[in-house]
A = this chain, B = another copy of it.
Amino acid sequence: MLVSALLMSVGINSCLCVLLFILYSVLRKQPHNYEVFLPRRLVAGTSKRRRNKVARYIPSVRWIWKSFKPSEQQLMESSGLDGVVFMRMITFSLKVFLFAGIIGVFVLLPVNCFGDQLIQIDYADWSANSLDLFSVANLKIRSKWLWVHFGAIYLVTAFVCCLLYLEFRYIGLKRIEHFHSSKPQPQQFTILVRNVPSSDGSSVSDTVDKFFRENHSSTYMSHVVIHRTSKLRSIVDNAKKLYKKVKQKKPEHGQVRKPPMRFFSRKDTPEGHYEKVLQEMEHNIRLGQAEVSSPGKEVRAAFVSFESRYGAAMALHMPQSINPTYWLTEPAPEPHDVHWPFFSASFMQKWLAKIVIVFACLLLTVLFLVPVVLVQGLTNLSALEYFFPFLTLILSMKIVSQIITGYLPSLILQTSLKIVPPIMEFLSSIQGHICHSDIQKSACNKVIWFTIWNVFFATVFSGSAFYKLSVILDPKEILVKLAVAVPAQASFFIAYVVTTGWTDTLTELFRVVPFMVSYVKRSLEPTEEDNELEVPPMRYHRDTPRVLFFGLLGITYFFLAPLILPFILLYFVLAYIIYRNQFINVYEPKYDTGGMFWPMIHYTMIFSLVLMHAIAIGLFALKKMELATYLLVPLPVFTLLFNEFCRKRFMPIFTAYPAEVLTKRDKEDQIDPRMSEFYSKLVTAYQDPALLPLRFNSLSGSNSLTSPLLSSSEV
């Protein structure tokens, strides 16, 4: 790749960025777009739909400055600890690449330029130089300048490790602080017990009650046994959908509904028929609920609540039974975070699901590229001309063909990558996690490794003869091969950061799919206001891997091609602005993992560092710097030891709260008069939603829960 090509790409994409920024700043001020761009503020009531002002057609930059405004405390309040962790990941990357960028651009880049391994720099025409001139490839074998790179690697590793340590400690403390400042919450007082042993004659409920009354008598309070409700749940879900449909078409009591403009006439919606069906369903649900509540439908698991956090922790940490495969305890998730369907599965189903999914993920990760590469193959010019003969004329234009061959393949790859997070989320959801936040975490982990494998390694492998399996068996050979293959892809990844990184993050700002949906809706029923405005939940498992991947790229290429650093830095600046904005205005946390994303981020960073070291060792061996090669070996070892230390030092805070924190909170509660109210709520907090009484009565006007849902007089 030549400097001119890079400059053109940077130019195009910078213009695109500015254009998109301007477009967004106008679009977001249109009232009918509020529900797409500002749903959170709309629901919270902090933003009103202003109409008919000229100002809303003039682009502004105030929203950019606004996104810098909220403090971390405010972010914590609005987006939870997960939001804080996500933003700290971006500021962490900013710090790292500011430091690495200064070293890279002002020290390593000049050193590389003045090497003379490749042809001399053409000072007359800068843009005609190859990008390789700026990379470490330009240094001669046994060049003394390589020691500068050696020092830079040590320096940056030390800097990143220090920062990682400080961040891990900070987030650990934030977790404790968050716990201290939080209201009493059901999950703090509750544990989940699984594998309750079966005892003849008594129900699971009795067994649980007897066991905890005997062994944890001082703190045990109540329990909720889980029931097999998968069939009932599908009936309830259908009924709810139907109810929503019927309700939308019926006016509220005492309110005269003006007939909306619609494409379908009223005859198409036989409301009477619907309501009869609803009535029938509701009857079925009552019957089903009664049937499910019988001991025969009990799952051998229960949520057990205690009088204090200390009591719950005690039961959580202590081995319970002589047979350690019974009475397995684990922390309870938040009540609305529970993933109920999973409890219904039998042990064998769970076990099989787990194995199948692990294989499915591996297969997807390894084989994903095959169809994508095939489709990409279609984008070369001759294939296009063969399938679409009428395009021949357009394709013969030089700029069009350049754009098609340059952009289309990476666009296809990027689009296909977009479908991966939902797939991974689905796979994680049937893998056996008992709560949504665990599913998110697991999906995030899967997507991280998927991205690293399918973008980083696949690019590196395909660019060299690396894929020969025989190479894998010789560990020393791998490093040298990596050192050859990874730098060769430097210019590809620089272009990748500029094209995909910048614009892809910006398109996130536009929420393209919701925007289109809202546009289509308005064109269908232009006057109807949307009654139920839904604030979309945060989806860290989709965004975290992408951000982390650019961090990995930056660290890996830090000394190989320092030219990448300013672009990575710019990417993180963009990401900072945009994500602080997808948090304040749009997304809302549905449940909090309590900062559990940080260990994942930490491990990915450590992986990036060790990958960089491995490539460095291979490169120094290639450049015949024996001493430097041996002196580099301790670096990954120390990095891994540091990782182990961090794991020992901080991970316990992320798995369970320590006794001193629990007792402090418990003591504060003792003097709180609101606790008795909390306890009465706690008893029913973990009720399966499928077993809750139905509340369709606003439609029929009847308040009684025992009477039929839709009384015949109303219909």
Contact = CB atoms under 8 A, between A and B. Distances in A.
Nearest to A173: B322
B218 A218 contact: yes
Contacts of A653: 322, 324
A249 interface: no
A211 to B, nearest CB: 7
A73 interface: no
A173 B652 CA distance: 32
Contacts of A317: 314, 317-319
Contact of A321 (B172, B214, B658): B658
Contact of A661 (B315, B322, B652, B659): B322
A186 B166 CA distance: 42
B321 A660 contact: yes
A314 to B, nearest CB: 5
A660 B327 CA distance: 11
B648 A322 contact: no
Contacts of A176: 322
A56 to B, nearest CB: 50
A663 B652 CA distance: 27
Interface string A158-182: 0000000000000011001000000
Contacts of A315: 659
Interface string A650-692: 1111001111110100000000000000000000000000000
Interface in A317-332: 317-325
Contacts of A657: 319
A143 interface: no
Contacts of A173: 322
B215 A659 contact: yes
Given A314-B314, A317-B317, A660 B216 contact: no
A649 interface: yes
A600 B197 CA distance: 30
Given A318-B313, A658-B319, A663 B215 contact: yes
Contacts of A218: 218
A651 to B, nearest CB: 8
A215 B314 CA distance: 12
Contact of A649 (B216, B325, B649): B325
Contacts of A217: 663
Contacts of A215: 659-660, 663
Contacts of A663: 214-215, 217
A658 B314 contact: no
B325 A216 contact: no
Given A218-B218, A314-B314, A317-B317, A322 B211 contact: no
Contacts of A660: 211, 214-215, 320-322
Given A215-B660, A660-B211, A652 B319 contact: yes
Chain A interface residue count: which class? 20 to 34
Given A215-B660, A216-B659, A659-B216, A649 B324 contact: yes
A91 B542 CA distance: 60
B325 A648 contact: yes
Contacts of A652: 319, 324
A653 B173 CA distance: 35
Contacts of A322: 172-173, 176, 653, 658, 660-661
Interface in A270-327: 313-315, 317-325
B649 A320 contact: no
A651 B323 CA distance: 10
A211 B325 CA distance: 34
Nearest to A660: B215
A659 B325 contact: no
Nearest to A219: B218
A320 B211 contact: no
A327 to B, nearest CB: 8
Contacts of A650: 324
Contacts of A323: 649
A648 B657 CA distance: 25
Nearest to A657: B319
Nearest to A666: B215
Interface in A217-274: 217-218
A215 B309 CA distance: 12
A659 B324 contact: no
A706 to B, nearest CB: 42
Interface in A482-536: none
A2 B314 CA distance: 67
B658 A318 contact: yes
A314 B313 CA distance: 9
A317 B316 CA distance: 9
A113 B156 CA distance: 70
A19 B73 CA distance: 87
A22 to B, nearest CB: 48
Nearest to A214: B663
Given A314-B314, A648-B325, A320 B214 contact: no
B318 A314 contact: yes
A325 B650 CA distance: 9
Nearest to A212: B659
Interface in A605-663: 648-653, 656-661, 663
A648 B321 contact: no
A215 B657 CA distance: 13
A515 to B, nearest CB: 45
A317 B659 CA distance: 10
Interface centre among A215, A318, A649, A656, by most B CB within 10 Å? A318
A3 to B, nearest CB: 47
Contacts of A216: 659
A554 to B, nearest CB: 32
Contacts of A318: 313-314, 317, 658-659
A654 to B, nearest CB: 10
Given A218-B218, A314-B314, A663-B214, A320 B658 contact: yes
Interface in A21-42: none
Given A314-B318, A324-B658, A325-B648, 15 more contacts: A214-B663, A215-B659, A215-B660, A217-B663, A218-B218, A313-B318, A314-B317, A318-B658, A319-B652, A319-B657, A320-B658, A320-B660, A321-B660, A322-B660, A323-B649
Interface of A: 172-173, 176, 211, 214-218, 313-315, 317-325, 648-653, 656-661, 663
11 contacts: A172-B322, A173-B322, A176-B322, A216-B659, A315-B659, A321-B660, A322-B653, A324-B648, A324-B650, A324-B651, A324-B652
> What 4 pairs across the A-B complex have the smallest Cβ distances?
A324-B652, A317-B317, A319-B658, A215-B659
